Amino acid sequence: MTKESKRRAARKGGPSPIFIWLRRSLARTIAVVAAVVVAVFFLIRLVPGDAAKMILGEYATDSDIQAMRTRLGLDFPPRDQFLRFLLQVLTSGDTGKSLVYGVSARELIFRRAPLTLLLVGLAAVLAIVAALFLALLAATHKDGPLDHMIRVLPAISLSMPVFWIGLLLILVFSVKLRIFPVGGVKEGLGGLLHGLALPAITVALSQVPSLVRSLRVQILEVLDSDFVVTLRAAGLPSRRILFRHVLRSSAIPAVMLLGVNLAYLMGGTMVIEQVFGLKGIGTLLFAAISNRDLPLIQGIALYCALAVVLVGLLTDVGAGLLDPRTRAKP
């Protein structure tokens, strides 16, 4: 917020800057989600293949397939389908009944979402903690052997596809050492964490390299900056400087970068869930696309878009709270 707009708002006695920000964010959210949903709706109908053929397989008659198509409502012209779809979404937040599973799309999504969210959250925490730690080490031992090692090793996990890292971890920790299950999660919080440990580590490994790189640069800048020099001159112990001041300033870009990466992850947990046999949103999307299960695809697109935008907003809020200077201008 610039000083002028703050003064303007205060003088007019008008809406507070937070309200303006909220309103703007809401508008942005709606715009993005609507754009995605409409685009998905029409684009997916351009792709060849239909659910009836997937449900009935290759040995079904033309009339069977036609009957199934009518039953599933695939016969109506796209515009009619779209209007019915809009109505359904706006009144119940549900994009329809899954063509293949016969259950409401929203119910399927909500049943599976917690697992994916937990996975992403766990991975985020692991990634941030590891990245901050490594970046601090690297920055404070700049140009030393530790620094070089920390800069090169993460590049390895960056260049390894996620499914490969996952497969290797499974082979070592699940099959050979039997510490973790090969796939899926069991009951209870303990079982959940146990089953998500390897997948979360795999995802974190793919995020750490880029985080470490930018964090290291940021920390170096902060260490070099005037205010830290002043603090040292004032005689503060270096550890305190490190943890209270340096960390705080470097956390912001870490959070921002993580936010962006998480947004990418939201739509992209599919491979990880596939490799680890997790019944989350990723595998649901994969099955839905393979089966051309239109209501389910549309539902996942809707809720994923929503999640992505919300994460983006949260990141902005977080960054704003940590450092008022980075608050976006209106």
Partner 1 sequence: MTYMKENYRRPEWAFLSASMVLIGVGLLLVVAACTKQPVGESTSTGGSFVYGRPASVTSLDLHKQITSNNAFAIDKIFEPLIAFDSKGVLVDWLSESHAVSPNGLTYTFVLRKGLKFSNGTPVKAQDAVFSLERHLKLGGPLAIKAKVASVTAQDERTLVIVLDTPYTPFITELSNFSNGILPKDFGGVSEEEFFKKPVGTGPFTVKAWDPAGDLTFAKNVKYWQAGKPHLDTLVYKLIQDDSQAINQLKTGEVQGIESVALENAAELAKGGTAKVLTNGSWITEQLFFNTLDKYFSDVHVRRALALSIDRAGLTKAVTFGYAEVARALLPPAIPYHANATVKALDFDLDKAKAELAQSKFPKGFSSKLLIASGSGTRAQEAQIIQAAAKTIGIDLAIEVVELAAFRQRFFAYDFSAMINSGQADSPEANSILAFQTDPQGFSKSYWTHYTNDKVTSLLYAGQGTPDGEKRASIYAELQQILADEVPYVPLYYPSILKAVRSSVEGLVVLPNNSLLFQDVVIKGK
Partner 2 sequence: MIGRSPRPPLRPSGGRPKTPPLWIGCSMLVLLAVPAILAPWITPYAPGQQNLSATLLPPSRGHWLGTDQLGRDLLTRILYAARTDLSVMVLAQIIPVCTGVFLGMVAGYFGRGIDAAVTLFTDTVIAFPFYLTVIIVAFLSGSGQRGIYVTFALVGWVVYARVVRGLSATFRQQDWIAAARTLGYPDLRILLRHLLPNVLPQAIVVLMTDMAALLVAIVTLGYLGIGIMPPTPDWGTMIADGRPFLSTKWWLSALPGLAVVYTGIALSLIGDGLADRIRRT
Among 7, 8, 148, 232, binds partner 1 (CB under 8 A): 232
Q: Is 223 in the site for partner 1 (CB under 8 A)?
A: yes
What is the total count of residues that contact partner 1 (CB under 8 A)?
66
Contacts of 197 (CB under 8 A, 6+ apart): 180
Q: Is 279 helix (H, G, I), strand (E, B) or coil?
A: coil
193 binds, among partner 1, partner 2, none (CB under 5 to 8 A by kind): partner 1
| Sole window of 17-25, 249-257, 282-290, 310-318 interacting with partner 1 (rule: CB under 8 A) | 282-290
Among 150, 180, 204, 262, binds partner 1 (CB under 8 A): 180
| Cβ-based neighbour number of residue 165 at 10 Å | 20
Q: Is 275 in the site for partner 1 (CB under 8 A)?
A: yes
Q: Footprint of partner 2 on this chain (CB under 8 A)? A: 28, 31-33, 35-36, 39-40, 43-44, 46-48, 151-152, 155-156, 158-164, 167, 171, 209-210, 213, 217, 221-222, 224-227, 249, 260, 263-264, 267-268, 270-271, 285-286, 289, 297, 300-301, 304-305, 308-309, 312
| Torsion sign across C-alpha atoms 71, 75, 76, 82 | positive
Q: Is 159 in the site for partner 1 (CB under 8 A)?
A: no
| Sole window of 20-28, 36-44, 83-91, 286-294 interacting with partner 1 (rule: CB under 8 A) | 286-294
Nearer to partner 2, 172 or 193 (CB): 172
CB of 13 to partner 2, least distance (A): 26
Helices (H), the chain: 3-12, 17-44, 51-56, 62-72, 78-92, 105-140, 145-159, 162-169, 188-224, 226-233, 238-240, 247-266, 270-276, 281-290, 294-322
CB of 196 to partner 1, least distance (A): 10
Could you give the C-alpha distances from 22 to 90, 136, 238, in angstroms and in order?
21, 35, 40
| Cβ-based neighbour number of residue 125 at 10 Å | 13
Rounded CA-CA distance 261/203 in Å is 11
Residue type, 330: P
Residue type, 285: L
CB of 156 to partner 2, least distance (A): 6
Q: Is 97 helix (H, G, I), strand (E, B) or coil?
A: strand
Q: Is 114 in the site for partner 1 (CB under 8 A)?
A: no
Lay out the site mask for partner 1 across 28-67 (x = CB under 8 A, - = otherwise): -------------------xxxx--xxxxxxxxxxxx---
Q: What is the CA 143 to chain-centroid distance, rounded?
A: 34
Cα Dmax for the chain: 85
53 binds, among partner 1, partner 2, none (CB under 5 to 8 A by kind): partner 1
Closest CA to 135 of 198, 221, 203: 221
Record the tokens describing residue 75, joined without a space.
Answer: 């016969």
Q: Is 125 in the site for partner 1 (CB under 8 A)?
A: no
Query: Residue for token digits 């996942």?
Result: 300
Question: Which parts of this chain interact with partner 1 (CB under 8 A)?
Answer: 47-50, 53-64, 98, 100-103, 108, 112, 129, 133, 137, 140-142, 167, 170-171, 174-175, 178-184, 186, 188, 190-191, 193-194, 197, 223-224, 232, 238-239, 242, 274-277, 279, 283-284, 286-287, 290-292
